[in-house]
Amino acid sequence: MHAFDYKKLPEKLLTPAIVNQLSMLHEFRGKQDLYISAKPDALSALLDIAKIQSTKASNGIEGIFTSDDRLQALVMDKAEPRSRSEEEIAGYREVLSMIHENYEYIPLRSNNVLQLHRNLYSYGGKGIGGRFKNVDNIIAEVGKDGNEHVRFTPTPAFQTPDAVDNLCQAFNEALDESKYDALILIPMFVLDFLCIHPFNDGNGRMSRLLTLLLLYRSNYIVGKYISIEMLIEHSKETYYEALRQSSTGWHTGENDYQSFVSYYLGVFVKAYQEFQDRVEHLHGKTLSKAERIRAVFRKRIGKISKSDIATLCPDISLTTIERTLKEMLDNGEIQKIGSGRGTGYLINS
């Protein structure tokens, strides 16, 4: 069985690049309370948006979809699931809300991991929720030849309960020792969890929910306001490559966590950068709504969509956004590119 070394291995991960990422995240955490106290009413809108985006993205990575209208109704608890996919989406909403509201009272223990997994399947009735896998599983990928290949063989089913116990214990002991930053230990835990692959189904979603739980318990609560799951979905090719690199040699303890840790820290940095950006836009409420929309173009490069603006300015209606974009087009301030869902706008220099 893989030995979970969280007392010596983290030392090897303190490369200049990772130390720089940690420094940035410490600085962001220092400003976190200022961000949150800035505009509490407007931030509640960011929280609702992040819940919807997180639920959509984390399920989407696993090929679980429904319409945007149905997704929003399910996440806001205004509808009951109508299909297998919607049952799984509703289950994710339940666990996400539980972590948001009760993370302080959910220590990392094997029985709590099982309870969260049970809640993930609370609507599905599949009989697998809250139970470790009862058969060995594999992680497969489809190669260029179109055939499925085994990429990784996780921990056998009979060893899984002990492996999860040992993993949680190793993480908690290292965290209590305070020798290494929690931000180093969390990605290591997530990688090890994915390599164990402890459930018959739901491992990816559980890994992302546990990421939020561990971040919140270490007072990094950006995931409430910016969807970390969406950032992972948008960079999933990089995510899978980092996972592949860092899981090679895992069974014999010869794997290198660096790629996965660096990737995860990069996602956290991106989340805080977006959070800061959105709070600054909320501070700009002294500007008119049209001026705030123009400010989005001044601060961002590349194509900007209506949904980008709506996310940054959740208190501005879609009608106002569309009217301002039309004015900017008519004035020659921006140009329209693409069509349909791919429509975006570029500022004219």
Beta bridge partners of 335: 346
**Residue indicated by tokens 């990688």:** 191
Residue 57 has pLDDT above 80, yes or no: yes
Cα angle 324, 328, 330 (rounded to 5 degrees) comes to 115
CA torsion 42-44-50-55 (nearest 10°) is: -150
Contact criterion met (CB below 8 Å) for 118 and 130:
yes
Residue 252 has pLDDT above 60, yes or no: yes
For 233, the token pair is 């979905």
Which residue segments constitute the domains of the chain, with CATH numbers given?
A: 9-281 (1.10.3290.10), 288-347 (1.10.10.10)
pLDDT category at 336 given cuts 50, 70, 90 is very high
Contact criterion met (CB below 8 Å) for 219 and 31:
no
Give start and end residues of each alpha helix (H) in the chain.
Answer: 9-12, 16-38, 40-61, 68-75, 84-102, 110-120, 160-177, 182-196, 203-217, 228-234, 236-247, 258-283, 289-299, 306-312, 318-330
Interval 286-313 mean pLDDT = 84
Backbone angles phi, psi at 316, to 5 degrees: -100, 130
pLDDT category at 286 given cuts 50, 70, 90 is low
In sequence order, what DSSP letters do the residues of 259-276 get, joined into one string? HHHHHHHHHHHHHHHHHH
Backbone angles phi, psi at 81, to 5 degrees: -65, 145
Return the pLDDT at 124: 77
Half-sphere exposure of 232 (CA within 13 A, CB side): 31
Interval 262-281 mean pLDDT = 91
Residue 79 has pLDDT above 60, yes or no: yes
For 335, the 3-state DSSP assignment is strand
Tens of pLDDT along 223-243?
Answer: 999 999 999 999 999 999 999
pTM for this prediction: 0.86
The pLDDT > 70 percentage for the chain reads 96
